[in-house]
Amino acid sequence: MHPSFHRRLLMLCATALLAATPLARAAEGEHPSVKRPFNLPPSADLSYTIKAKQRGIPLNGTANVQWRAADGSYSVATESRVSLLGKILENRSEGSVDDYGLAPVQFYEKRFRKDPSHTSFKRDAKTITFSESDDSYPIKGGEQDRTSIQWQLAAQARATPDKFKAGSEWAFFVAGRRDAEVWRFKVMKNEAVQIGTGEVNAVHLVKAPPPDAQGQQVDLWLAPAMDWYPVRVRFNDDDGDFVDQTLEKVVHK
């Protein structure tokens, strides 16, 4: 398999996309910091199937997510595998819970054939730093990483489901491997999603790329009847490539 195929496949893995896509520089002064009610989902192990198209080639895989929240702290650990390559991604987000919700302390990522990276949220110094760049950003409150953001959204939706109506928008300052930017999610509508245990109703949110930049569109479906767990995540590239990640089962812990 050609090395460039490996690289592009990594960028298309469902969980990897949240953690690996290069970020555009955030506009100066654009740094959302908003306190909103939240209610963390119960701890659970979640198993997903991955279906993707890469240069016209269908690919299948799995992702396993361990979500834990207790005693004022949280952790999310993800491992993703695809056919042909095996394990291509391992990442973790861990930290505390504060007045804003999830408060990451460390974001770790190990990609296929790459050295691991670390993004540090230095709470005492109120600064976000990166092992892969010299950039830094201030901590104002509510900042997330590319793994924690789904769970922060789920926690806020659990607390105020009436506010997650079509047309509402939710902005967060999100850190990746080497820098950070504003992510804006817009609620589209409620839709039926077929998962491993049957059909569930889910709230569909979309993060579109900035109008003046190329990038992936992220579609996220959160299921109210399942503690607002993410039941589906889809990533669409502007060249037609995609990754679709769908929940197979949940085991509460």
What is the Cα–Cα distance from 171 to 33, expressed in whole angstroms? 9
Q: Are 174 and 145 in contact (CB under 8 A)?
A: yes
Q: pTM to 2 decimals?
A: 0.86
Q: Average pLDDT, stretch 27-45?
A: 88
Q: Are 78 and 90 in contact (CB under 8 A)?
A: yes
- pLDDT confidence of residue 67: 98
Q: Domain boundaries in the chain?
A: 3-252
Higher pLDDT, 84 or 198: 198
Answer yes or no: is pLDDT of 45 > 70.
yes
Q: Which residues, listed in sequence order, are joined to residue 186 by a DSSP beta bridge?
A: 169, 206
Higher pLDDT, 239 or 199: 199
Q: Which of 133, 131, 129, 13 is nearest to 78 (CA)?
A: 13
* pLDDT tier at 18, thresholds 50, 70, 90: very low
What does each C-alpha distance from 118 to 78, 80, 151, 162, 183 come to in angstroms?
A: 15, 18, 20, 36, 20
Higher pLDDT, 241 or 210: 241
In terms of DSSP bridges, do strands 133-138 and 144-145 run parallel, antiparallel, or are they unpaired? unpaired
- Least reliable range by pLDDT among 31-35, 134-138, 157-161, 210-214: 210-214
DSSP tag of 162: G
pLDDT tens-place string over residues 216-245: 788 999 999 999 999 999 888 777 788 889
Four-way CATH pick for 3-252: 2.60.40, 2.30.30, 2.40.360, 3.30.1050: 2.40.360
Number of neighbours of residue 148 by Cβ within 10 angstroms: 27
What is the Cα–Cα distance from 174 to 146, expressed in whole angstroms? 6
Task: Enumerate helices (H) and strands (E) in the chain, giving the number of each.
Answer: 3, 15
pLDDT tens-place string over residues 108-140: 998 777 889 999 999 999 999 999 999 999 999
